[in-house]
Amino acid sequence: MKTALITGVTGQDGSYLAEYLLSLGYHVVGLKRRTSLICTDRIDKIFEHENFSLEYFELDDPGVIYRLINKYNPNEIYNLAAQTHVRVSFDIPLSTTNTIVTGVTNILEAIRNTNPKIKFYQASSSEMFGDNPEVPQNELTRLSPASPYACAKVYAHHLVRNYRESYGIFACSGMLFNHESPRRGETFVTRKITMAAAKIKLGLQDKLYLGNLDALRDWGFAGDYVKAMHMMLQHGEPDDYVIATGVSKTVKDWLEKVFEIAGLSIEEFVEIDSRFFRPHEVPHLLGDYSKAKKMLGWEPLITFDDLAEMMYNSDLKFCKNQLKRL
């Protein structure tokens, strides 16, 4: 039985990846920060699985990583832990960059010094392309980060390649474009919109306040994207891959689709608020995933419209259940 360590297991991607690897017969060791709140709702359905273990760790404590590698002898490590909200990274740049930069460095050093045969996956981001006007973006597109979050991700991305080339470690980076799901945090614009639409529909919220509606993004389903992470580590040679849908839509497109599904009027319930604009906006992200399709056989399955309906229906169900408890 293969063993995989997943940092950030209680997050959106970590929970989907854990479920997927368990379905493949893995022993999954999920790593989460020790906080005052027990936030494990995304992994409730696998918490009691006989092949799932939960461990506490901190990315800035290298001793914990060494201990867990020695304890579990993993075949694969997936580093998904980070402060992932781009807008928030402008408010807490030091915390954001420390988590990303220190974390990947500690894990790669632990692999190098304990067992260089461990395969490693790093969660890179389409935000690394930033304000580069070249579209679509692929693995060779110049990186032009436009936020503290993206700057830290660029460092991590280059460090993965450096350890791969310098020490022969099987290390891959997934340059994932926007990937959403019902498990997305409510501060992210896609989930913010679907949750607000559900609450407005049920009379629980009066208005939805948003920032830039013109930003173009390549939106996919997180459940599809975690399969690409696994595929990278099963391939014959380590490399970096863009994971995307190849279709870009604006935030306004997402808003219109969700409100159409909900039967709501944008003019009546939505207002623009300057507080939600980024200090440095990224206008257009569109991924070219042809390399992943050719080398890994990966393709996205869930469409933009299906994703919007999935997330809205999930939030509507959640809100209805909350009302029943009142």
Asked, for residue 292, whether it belongs to a domain, the answer is no
pLDDT at 39: 63
Per-block mean pLDDT, blocks of 10 residues, the chain (326 long):
96 96 98 66 84 90 93 98 76 84 95 98 94 94 92 95 98 97 94 97 96 95 98 98 98 98 96 83 92 98 98 96 83
Asked, for residue 206, whether it belongs to a domain, the answer is yes
At 71, which CATH number? Answer: 3.40.50.720
- Give me the domain span that covers residue 211: 185-217+247-284+302-325
Asked, for residue 151, whether it belongs to a domain, the answer is yes
Same-domain pairing of 170 and 251: no
Same-domain pairing of 114 and 209: no
Tokens of 181: 């799901």
Same-domain pairing of 130 and 62: yes
pLDDT at 38: 52
At 193, which CATH number? Answer: 3.90.25.10
Asked, for residue 289, whether it belongs to a domain, the answer is no
Q: For the segment 113-148, what is each residue's pLDDT rounded down to a tens digit?
A: 999 999 999 999 999 999 898 999 999 999 999 888
Same-domain pairing of 66 and 202: no
Task: Tell me the one-letter amino acid at 271.
Answer: E
pLDDT at 318: 94
Same-domain pairing of 196 and 253: yes
Same-domain pairing of 236 and 257: no
Same-domain pairing of 228 and 160: yes
pLDDT at 324: 83
Asked, for residue 112, whether it belongs to a domain, the answer is yes
pLDDT at 92: 81
Give the residue numbers marked as catalytic. Answer: 125, 127, 149
Alpha-carbon distance of 243 to 236, in angstroms, equals 18
Pairing status of strand 249-250 against strand 216-217: antiparallel
Task: Tell me the one-letter amino acid at 195.
Answer: M
pLDDT at 116: 97
Strand ranges, E, within 167-277: 171-176, 179-180, 208-210, 216-217, 220-221, 241-243, 249-250, 270-272
* Rounded (5°) CA angle 169-145-237: 20
Number of domains in the chain: 2
* Rounded (5°) CA angle 132-97-281: 35
Same-domain pairing of 138 and 14: yes
Same-domain pairing of 123 and 257: no
Same-domain pairing of 203 and 227: no
Same-domain pairing of 113 and 239: yes
